[in-house]
Chain A
Amino acid sequence: AQKITQTQPGMFVQEKEAVTLDCTYDTSDPSYGLFWYKQPSSGEMIFLIYQGSYDQQNATEGRYSLNFQKARKSANLVISASQLGDSAMYFCAMREGNDYKLSFGAGTTVTVRA
Chain B
Amino acid sequence: NAGVTQTPKFRILKIGQSMTLQCTQDMNHNYMYWYRQDPGMGLKLIYYSVGAGITDKGEVPNGYNVSRSTTEDFPLRLELAAPSQTSVYFCASTRRGGSNNEQFFGPGTRLTVL
Contacts and interface: CB of A to CB of B under 8 A. Distances in A.
Q: Is the interface of A mostly helix, strand, loop or mixed?
A: strand
Secondary structure type dominating chain B contacts: strand
Contacts of A43: 88, 107-108, 110
B58 A101 contact: yes
Contacts of A44: 105, 107-108
Contact of A99 (B43, B56, B105): B56
Contact of B31 (A33, A37, A45, A100): A100
Given A44-B108, A100-B101, A101-B33, A91 B42 contact: yes
Interface stretch (A13-21, A71-79, A102-110): A102-110
B101 A99 contact: no
A50 B100 contact: yes
Contacts of B58: 101
A19 B29 CA distance: 34
A5 B101 CA distance: 22
Interface string A74-112: 000000000000000001010100011111111100000
Contacts, number: 57
B2 interface: no
Interface residues on A, range: 20 to 34
Contact of A52 (B41, B48, B99): B99
Contacts of A33: 100-101
A37 B100 CA distance: 14
Interface string B50-90: 10000010100000000000000000000000000000101
29 contacts: A33-B100, A33-B101, A35-B102, A37-B105, A43-B107, A45-B43, A45-B90, A45-B92, A47-B104, A52-B99, A93-B43, A95-B101, A99-B31, A99-B48, A99-B50, A99-B56, A100-B94, A100-B96, A100-B101, A100-B103, A101-B45, A101-B58, A102-B33, A102-B103, A103-B45, A104-B35, A104-B42, A104-B43, A105-B42
Interface of A: 4, 33, 35, 37, 43-45, 47, 50, 52, 91, 93, 95, 99-107
Interface of B: 31, 33, 35, 40-45, 48, 50, 56, 58, 88, 90, 92, 94, 96, 99-105, 107-108, 110
